[in-house]
């Protein structure tokens, strides 16, 4: 039986990116949460927020260590699995890849300094200032690697000569048309996801009801802080999503059309949610919002939206990306509703903000946010198919023909199983064996026993 090297190559990359994106998201979003918590702690002289920053930073280091390995694996699999792509585009994407590594080292250096200088300064704000470079390094790491993905969607900054890219302008390649909207969406979703995930952890701890009054106050403050940040970035992410849709309508209309099962070019196009396609490729059982796709694409309910019929059949993305788009959007809307509901409930004296249903909803929102990240990246990558570099090189042309590709798949799979297992075990042991209450009494023995 002949091996489908293209399919296995795609599976290796899907597995690598799907695993790495979890740690990449944490690497971008958690430093901001650490910095905010410490700033509030220093400003208010509040031990709870200071301990939040301390504990989040400790857990963050473990995820950074795993992220280093998975990031290295991405570079390795690019060379092993997509050699033809690297041969053609290597000189274009080498600058942002180098800059991404530089940004990571910048982040890692200051993270080490930050961790080992707790309680070493007379003025606590000096230590807080050390968190700023970590936030910047994490953010720019995402920016640089996102420009590579943006280039694959809207290639720019080169001329094509004898099948290779020449006269390369790496800055123009990085600042291609897709970069602004993609960077905006990636950063806002990373900050949103990490905020709601930390809120989910706090909600879960309160839900367990095994914490003391001292620990309960700590987790309730964590919940209020993280949900406030969640709501802010959920609103910003909504704007980022709208910006991305308008970019797609102009530069990648086939991706938006496939996501919305919009086959014919027409005005006042409906937005289609869920449903399924019958044998004639007609949506059945769907929810339609009249004119909403036109508004999403161009900011006008009566505007013309390009249909999938305008794209040659062999260049159309798979239609199942519709579900990835829908799930991403629905979860994104949920992440606005959850913190909003929490704050509405908190203003009504008769209602208990920390009731079982509210806490359960927050707790489940954390994993859902990471699923939204996965769905979004699947949509972004599959929506570019059949291209690896849109308009220049297909995935089939870029993939390796090595007979050892099957072995590579199992080696990468084994690596991720080991890394994932070790990460979970380490984090579980780190926090389960060292509850917040004990740390509060250890580091801040004069704290009031109940502080809500």
Query: pLDDT digits over 28-86, tens only?
Result: 889 999 999 889 888 888 888 888 888 888 888 888 888 888 878 887 887 788 888 88
Residue 441's pLDDT band, with cuts at 50, 70 and 90, is low
Q: What residues pair up with 164 in beta bridges, in sequence order?
A: 161
pLDDT per residue over 255-297, tens digit each? 888 888 888 888 888 888 888 888 777 777 778 888 888 888 8
Is 286 a domain residue?
no
**CA torsion through residues 127, 128, 129, 132, sign:** positive
Nearest to 198 by CA among 337, 49, 348, 44: 49
Query: Which pLDDT belongs to residue 196?
Result: 92
> Is the pLDDT at 452 greater than 80, yes or no?
no
Q: Is residue 388 part of a domain?
A: yes
pLDDT at 439: 60
Tokens of 302: 């009566």
Q: Measured between alpha carbons, how far is 165 from 199 in angstroms, rounded to an integer?
A: 46
- Measured in residues, the chain has a length of 452
Residue 270 falls within a domain, yes or no? no
52 in any annotated domain: yes
**Greatest mean pLDDT range, 256-270, 356-370, 398-412:** 356-370
Confirm whether 231 is domain-assigned.
Answer: yes
Which of 325, 294, 320, 295 shows the shortest CA–CA distance to 307?
Answer: 294
In a domain, 380, yes or no: yes
Against a cut of 0.75, is the pTM above it? yes
Cis amide prior to 343 (ω within 30 degrees):
no
pLDDT of 203 reads: 87
When divided into structural domains, the chain yields a total of 1
- Calculate the CA 17 to chain-centre distance: 11
DSSP H or E segment with residue 443: helix 436-443
Whether residue 408 lies inside any domain: the answer is yes
The yes-or-no verdict on residue 451 having pLDDT over 50 is no
**Parent domain of 413:** 13-247+309-443
The confidence score (pLDDT) of residue 229 equals 92
Q: What is the pLDDT of residue 195?
A: 92
CB 32 within 8 A of CB 96: no
Could you say which DSSP state residue 308 is in?
Answer: G
pLDDT at residue 191 in the model? 93
Q: State the Cα angle at 189 between 187 and 104, rounded to 5°.
A: 40
| Listed residue (447, 449, 443, 436) closest to 46, CA to CA | 447
Whether 427 maps to a domain, the answer reads yes
The pLDDT of residue 450 is 39
């Amino acid at each position: 039986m002949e091996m489908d090297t293209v399919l296995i190559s795609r599976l290796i990359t899907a597995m690598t990116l799907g695993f790495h994106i979890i740690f990449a998201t944490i690497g971008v979003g958690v430093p901001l949460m650490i910095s905010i918590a410490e700033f509030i702690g220093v400003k208010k002289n509040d031990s709870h927020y200071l301990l939040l920053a301390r504990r989040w930073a400790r857990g963050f280091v473990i995820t950074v260590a795993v992220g280093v390995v998975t990031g290295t694996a991405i570079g390795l699999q690019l060379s092993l699995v997509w050699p033809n792509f690297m041969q053609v585009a290597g000189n274009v994407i080498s600058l942002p890849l180098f800059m991404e590594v530089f940004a990571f080292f910048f982040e890692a250096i200051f993270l080490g300094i930050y961790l080992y200088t707790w309680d070493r300064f007379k003025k606590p704000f000096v230590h807080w200032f050390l968190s700023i470079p970590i936030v910047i390094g994490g953010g720019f790491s995402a920016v640089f690697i996102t420009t590579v993905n943006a280039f694959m969607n809207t290639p720019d900054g080169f001329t094509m000569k004898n099948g290779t890219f020449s006269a390369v302008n790496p800055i123009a390649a990085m600042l291609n048309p897709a970069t602004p909207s993609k960077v905006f969406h990636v950063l806002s979703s990373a900050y949103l996801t990490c905020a709601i995930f930390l809120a989910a952890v706090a909600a879960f701890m309160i839900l367990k009801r095994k914490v003391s009054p001292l620990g309960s106050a700590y987790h309730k403050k964590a919940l209020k802080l993280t949900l406030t940040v969640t709501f802010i970035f959920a609103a910003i992410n909504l704007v980022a999503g709208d910006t991305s849709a308008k970019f797609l309508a102009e530069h990648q209309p086939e991706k938006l059309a496939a996501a919305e099962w919009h086959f014919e070019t027409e005005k006042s196009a409906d937005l289609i949610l869920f449903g399924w396609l019958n044998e004639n490729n007609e949506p059945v059982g769907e929810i339609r919002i009249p004119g909403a796709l036109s508004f999403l694409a161009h900011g006008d309910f009566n505007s013309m939206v390009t249909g999938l019929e305008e794209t040659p059949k062999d260049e159309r993305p798979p239609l199942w990306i519709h579900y990835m788009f829908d799930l991403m959007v629905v979860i994104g809307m949920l992440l606005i509703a959850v913190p909003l509901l929490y704050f509405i409930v908190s203003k009504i004296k008769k209602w208990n903000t920390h009731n079982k249903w509210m806490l359960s909803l927050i707790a489940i929102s954390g994993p859902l946010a990471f699923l939204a990240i996965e769905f979004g990246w699947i949509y972004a990558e599959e929506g570019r198919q059949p291209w690896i570099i849109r308009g220049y090189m297909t995935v089939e042309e870029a993939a390796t023909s090595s007979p050892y590709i099957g072995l590579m798949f199992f080696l990468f799979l084994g690596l991720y199983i080991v890394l994932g297992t070790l990460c979970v075990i380490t984090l579980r042991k780190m926090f389960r064996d060292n509850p917040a209450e004990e740390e509060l009494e250890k580091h801040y023995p004069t704290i009031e026993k109940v502080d809500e």
